[in-house]
Amino acid sequence: MTASRALLDHFEDLVDPRTRACPHALDELLLTAISAILSGADTWVSVALWGQAKLHWLRQFLPFANGIAAHDTFGRVFSLLDASVFEACFVRWMQGVCGAFDGLHVAIDGKTVRRAKTAGESAIHLVSAFAHGLGLTLGQVKTAEKSNEITAIPELLDALLLKGCLVTIDAMGCQKAIAAKIIQQESDYLLMVKNNQPTLAAAIEQCFDTARATGYQQLPHTAAEWVEKDHGRIETRRCVVTPDLSCLGTLRKDWPGLQALVMVEAQRDSQGQVSRERRYYLCSRLADAATLGPAARGHWGIENQLHWSLDVTFGEDQSRMRVGNAAENFSIFRRMALNLFRQDKSVKAGVKTRRLLASTDDAYRQKLLGLQAVA
List, in order, residues 6 or more apart from 360 with CB less than 8 Å away.
Answer: none
More confident residue, 146 or 62: 62
pLDDT, the chain, mean: 89
**What average pLDDT does range 216-222 have in this prediction?**
94
**What average pLDDT does range 12-41 have in this prediction?**
93
* Count of Cβ atoms closer than 10 Å to residue 102 Cβ: 12
Whether 350 is covered by a domain: the verdict is yes
Q: What pLDDT sits at residue 261?
A: 98
Whether 149 is covered by a domain: the verdict is no
Whether 271 is covered by a domain: the verdict is no
**What average pLDDT does range 329-344 have in this prediction?**
93
Q: What pLDDT sits at residue 100?
A: 63
Maximum alpha-carbon separation in the chain: 77
What confidence tens digit (pLDDT) does each residue in 237-272 have? Answer: 999 999 999 999 999 999 999 999 999 999 888 777
More confident residue, 123 or 91: 91
Asked whether the beta carbons of 66 and 52 are under 8 A apart, the reply is: no
Whether 172 is covered by a domain: the verdict is no
Q: How many domains does the chain have?
A: 1
Please provide the distance, in angstroms rounded to a whole number, between the alpha carbons at the two ends of the chain. Answer: 5
More confident residue, 126 or 242: 242
Phi then psi for residue 46, to 5 deg, are -70, -30
List, in order, residues 6 or more apart from 30 with CB less than 8 Å away.
Answer: 8, 11, 14
Torsion of CA 190, 194, 198, 200, to 10 degrees: 20
Say whether pLDDT at 345 is over 80: yes
Say whether pLDDT at 5 is over 70: no
Say whether pLDDT at 276 is over 50: yes
Say whether pLDDT at 120 is over 60: no
- pTM score: 0.88
**What average pLDDT does range 21-48 have in this prediction?**
95
Q: What pLDDT sits at residue 315?
A: 86
Say whether pLDDT at 147 is over 70: no
**What average pLDDT does range 107-127 have in this prediction?**
74
Query: What is the band of 4 on the pLDDT scale with cuts at 50, 70, 90?
Result: very low
Whether 241 is covered by a domain: the verdict is no
**What average pLDDT does range 80-92 have in this prediction?**
91
What confidence tens digit (pLDDT) does each residue in 167-197 have? Answer: 999 999 999 999 999 999 999 999 999 988 9
Whether 59 is covered by a domain: the verdict is yes
Q: What pLDDT sits at residue 97?
A: 72
Buried b (16+ CB within 10 A) or exposed e, 230-245: eeeeeeebbbbbbeeb
Domain hosting residue 45, numbered range: 2-81+344-374
Euclidean distance between CA atoms 368 and 358, whole angstroms: 9
Say whether pLDDT at 2 is over 50: no
Q: What pLDDT sits at residue 114?
A: 65
Say whether pLDDT at 146 is over 60: no
More confident residue, 111 or 147: 111
Say whether pLDDT at 212 is over 80: yes
Q: What pLDDT sits at residue 3?
A: 42
Whether 248 is covered by a domain: the verdict is no
Helix residue ranges, H only, 253-325: 289-298, 301, 308-312
Whether 360 is covered by a domain: the verdict is yes
Q: What pLDDT sits at residue 356?
A: 96
Q: What pLDDT sits at residue 228?
A: 84
